[in-house]
Amino acid sequence: MPAAPKPEILAAFEAAKGFMPVDEGLALYAAAVEAGRLGLPLLEVGTYCGRSTVLLADAAREAGVCALTVDHHRGSEEQQPGWEYHDPETVDPELGVMDTLPTFRRTLHRAGLEDHVVALVGRSPQIAAIWRTPLGLVFIDGGHTDEHATADYEGWAPHVAEGGLLAIHDVYPDPQDEFTGQAPYRVYLRALASGAFTEVSATDSLRVLRRTGPGI
């Protein structure tokens, strides 16, 4: 049986702002627990308000490793005012721009997981450019344009250790999902075609792959 989060962790996940459904969250948690056995950090790209971070942090705590989460906290394209996934509660009332960092911190505090997460606040390519540590898990869940999804893959996939896992969210093969999931789908296809990664599982729009060879 795949590892499952404790009821209080699942409750914290469900209570947090975010878009990941429970079945995908359970699959991500199981992957994080497995990856944690490598004794290396677990990293996600795309924090938003910390919904999936709760799961990664608990898996990291159980494994005695660190969870890292990368986001500039100004929202991705589809979360801006006027777009489908915009939440007015995430707008800084003084500056008039999105700021999901305070909500994210409240999410971790309520879940009792602050001590198990390092929040890397900045743009993914800038942080990836200076990153040097091997990772047990990389979870790509950032921007959905080709520019952003490709940059996340090229920046972070090289750091997945041998036997480590690469998880990609919002993989939608149907061309009608061009805006929401075609860029992650193309990254997923690229990972498979590289020969560096082998698919482990598929749960709705979440794909989990294992590093089985060099390169990206």
**Active site includes 72?**
no
Distance CA 29, CA 7 (A): 13
Annotated active-site residue in 72, 73, 116, 144: 144
Cβ neighbors of 19 (< 8 A, separation 6 or more) are 48, 51, 85
Residue 82: predicted pLDDT: 57
* Higher pLDDT pick, 78 / 57: 57
Residue 185: predicted pLDDT: 95
10 Å CB burial of residue 130 (0-12, 13-18, 19+) is exposed
Q: What one-letter code names the amino acid at 199?
A: E
Distance CA 196, CA 62 (A): 28
4-34 pLDDT per residue, tens: 999 999 999 999 999 899 999 999 999 999 9
129-187 pLDDT per residue, tens: 999 999 999 999 998 899 999 999 999 999 999 999 999 999 999 877 656 669 999 99
**Residue 212 in 3-state DSSP?**
coil
Residue tagged 């971790």 (tokens): 108
